[in-house]
Structure 1
Amino acid sequence: MSLRIIFAGTPEFSVPTLEALIGSEHEVVAVYTQPDRPRGRGKKMQFTPIKEVALKHDIPVYQPLSLRNSEAQEELALLNADLMIVVAYGLILPEAVLKAPKLGCLNIHASLLPRWRGAAPIHRAIEAGDDKTGVAIMQMDKGLDTGDVWSEASVAITPETTMIELHDTLKVLGAKLLLETIPTVVAGEKSPQKQLEEGITYAEKISKEEAKVNWEEDHETIMRKIHAFNPFPGAFTSIDGELLKLFRVAKTANKSQATAGTLRVEADKIYVVTGDGFELEILELQVAGKRKMESALFIKGHEINQKVCQ
């Protein structure tokens, strides 16, 4: 059965789902996305990734500042949609919008609900040391990620997993799971499952301030933070007043009595002492104003042996 679908999304994470819907039997009658905003160093006005895809396929694009006013709600209702799909849109959907499509609104959420409701579920799952996460197809209601769940799919998280790697896995997994779930929703023979009352956690929005590395913490906590904030906002430290962002590190069996944050250079490798005495090997970092680089390249231009990160 072909459905008339409204798609709402904004960042690159949403793109695979929109592309999957465009390539399916369904008709995407409209795309809702955040207003164009200045981005990048030049602060030039740029389209959202979702708008770029929509325009490429000649799909009408709507970019209201809010969906709370009656005019925007009436405009959406006139699209006569069967279903609305929401993936990282960034605007709250009031009850009038949730009820406008015949089958309501489905959301792809990047966690296994009820764990990590909220804005930054991918970051927080890695930071917390979860051994798995996934995507959930949720029937949206008025609450913050509180709706009943139609389906879920999980993936493993390892100590080496970075946010960008998990992001790219989940965006594809979510698109696939959605297409598998839509026929169940349309059939009307089953109901989504209510979320458990136990195990609810909230993934607060990431602030740049919390990305500062505290070298007094243990090596596993520091490693998780660095990988959770790769690439945004980028975990950071400083050496002699020079800001460094850290993107990838590796566990070692090395132990040291040196002060936490002390750097050690051996051949083309950089090690840093953590609060529990274990050294982490820094694999990828970035000096302010320059591109990411591997440690071997950084060493060539910097004398850092026995210096202490601040």
Structure 2
Amino acid sequence: MKLIFAGTPVFAAAALQALLDAGHDIALVLTQPDRPAGRGMKLKPSPVKELALQHGLRVEQPLTLKTPEAQALVAEVGAEVMVVAAYGLLLPKAVLDMPARGCLNIHASLLPRWRGAAPIQRAILAGDAKTGITIMQMDVGLDTGDMLSIHPLPITADDSAASLHDKLAVLGADAIVATLAQLDACTPQPQPEEGVTYAAKLSKDEARIDWTQPAADIARAIRAYNPAPGAHTLLGGEALKLWQAHAVAGTAPAGEVLRADADGVVVGTGSGLLVLTRLQAAGGKRLAAREFVAGRSALAGTRLGA
């Protein structure tokens, strides 16, 4: 099938590779412009661009798809379908209507739950038992289009946003290939009107830990904000990032370190205790609790967040 592919990050690159492996004709790849990255802030291509160039595909990087010039890039291809995965640009109606069979989006949630920018993280934060991939026929709304296929995935107690992202990237890649193979038999289903939630973009401020919250909620937040923006607090007035933790029974004042040993840094919360097992001090590396505690002999009795 002759396709246009629009995507930017690793999540999208997994889908592009799967479409290539399935033998589809990728006539054009759209991706975000190169961005500064690394210590030298040199321009770095997106994972999708890197993969596309490896396969000799045509790549275009418009700043917007609202201009006549950008829309001409899409129109001249004469694609049957545009596949969109975490592209990062809005598709105006003119572009949505250009491919003969429309634009299909690989969305990382079970719609209509978690429409929007951060569905993986919001599902973990909310304590959802499952998430998944929805292949959706795109329209002008925010993730409001008809559903072509739904692919559930359990969320385990150990899943971070990073691990869940990787599982969903594989699932999304498989799902779009399967959906395109059965496209003639697919019956678009309108999304239910009930159960709509919105996955707002993450901010660094919201990843600051509030120790008055229950330990179980904080543990979920640490998983949800891993790898970005990274759950964080203060230790002795300096930033401390938290990468892994679990809740246990017990009581201690919110934010107070009850004890610190090789098994973890145990901190009081609004309800229960939180055992921090992987931490990162300002300017340091991520360390297991055993290594972190070894260089800090007087943690017990200190207060985090102050």
In the alignment, is the contact (CA less than 8 A) between 1:271 and 1:281 conserved in 2? yes
| Aligned 8 A contact 1:160 1:250 in 2 | no
Partner residue, 2:240:
244
Aligned partner (choices 286, 293, 296) of residue 292 of structure 1: 286
> 2:18 is aligned with what amino acid?
A
The match for 1:208 is 204
Once the two structures are TM-superposed, the CA of residue 286 in structure 1 deviates from its matched residue by 1.1
Structure 2 letter corresponding to 1:233? P
Does the CA contact (< 8 Å) of 2:208 and 2:233 recur in 1?
Answer: yes
Amino acid across the alignment from 2:291: L
CA deviations over 1:271-300 (Å, ceiling 9, x no partner): 111111x11111111112222111111111
SS at match of 1:102: coil
Q: Structure 2 vs 1, CA of residues 91 and 228 (structure 1 numbering), >3 Å: closer, same or farther?
A: same
Pair 1:42-2:40 in alignment: yes
Q: Point out the more displaced range, 137-146 or 263-272.
A: 263-272
8 Å contact from structure 1 (residues 237, 309) kept in 2? yes
Q: TM-score normalised to the size of structure 1?
A: 0.95
Q: Which residue of 2 aligns with 1:134?
A: 132
CA distance in 1, matches of 2:215, 2:186: 46
Q: Deviations over 1:166-218 (max 9, x none)?
A: 00000000010111111222x2x442100000000000000100000000011
Residue 219 (structure 2) aligns with: 223
How much does 1:264 deviate? 2.8
Unmatched 5+ residue regions in structure 1? none
> Is the 1:135–1:173 contact (alpha carbons within 8 Å) kept by the matching residues of 2?
yes
**Partner in structure 2 of residue 74 of structure 1:** 72
User: How far, CA to CA, are the matches of 2:260 and 2:58 in structure 1?
Assistant: 57
Q: Which runs of 5+ in 2 are unaligned?
A: none
Q: Paired residues, what number?
A: 303
**Of residues 87, 90, 99 in structure 2, which corresponds to 1:89?**
87
SS state at 1:19 partner: helix
SS in 1 for 2:240: strand
CA gap of 1:37–1:267, structure 2 versus 1, over 3 A, is closer
Distance 1:67 1:105 in 2: 14
Partner SS for 1:8: strand
Could you tell me whether the CA contact under 8 Å between 1:211 and 1:235 is conserved in 2? yes
Once the two structures are overlaid, the 10-residue window that deviates more, 281-290 or 140-149, is 281-290
1:173-212 equivalences in 2 (<5 Å): 173-185=171-183, 187=184, 189-212=185-208
Map 1:267-282; keep pairs closer than 5 Å: 267-268=261-262, 269-276=264-271, 278-282=272-276
Cα separation, 2, equivalents of 1:203 and 1:108: 15
Partner residue of 2:153 out of 152, 155, 166: 155
Residue 55 of structure 2 aligns with which residue?
57
CA distance in 1, matches of 2:39, 2:270: 36
Corresponding residue number in structure 1 for 2:277: 283
Distance 1:23 1:180 in 2: 12
Q: Secondary structure at the match of 1:280?
A: strand
Give, in whole Å, the separation in 2 of the partners of 1:158 and 1:86: 27
Match of 1:261 in 2: 255
C-alpha separation in 2, matches of 1:42 and 1:288: 21
In structure 1, distance between residues paired with 2:13 and 2:258: 42
CA contact (8 A) 2:108 2:134 kept: yes
Q: In 2, Cα distance between the equivalents of 1:23 and 1:123?
A: 29
SS at match of 2:182: helix
Percent identity for Structure 1 against Structure 2: 48
**TM-score between both structures, scaled by the size of structure 2:** 0.97
Aligned residues of 1:285 and 1:294 also touching (Cα < 8 A): yes
| Counterpart position of 2:121 | 123
Report the alpha carbon displacement of residue 40 of structure 1 after superposing the two structures with TM: 2.4
- What is the deviation of 1:266? 4.5
Q: Counterparts of 1:49 and 1:196 in 2: how far apart (Å)?
A: 34
Cα distance, 1:158 vs. partner?
2.8
Aligned equivalents of 1:293, 1:16: Cα separation in 2:
30
Deviates more, 1:287-296 or 1:144-153: 287-296
Shift of residue 73 of structure 1? 0.4
Residues in 2 aligned to 1:219 and 1:161: alpha-carbon distance in whole angstroms = 17
**Distance in 2 separating the partners of 1:299 and 1:208:** 26
Q: Compute the displacement of 1:135 (Å).
A: 0.6
Contact 2:106 2:134 in 1 (8 A): yes
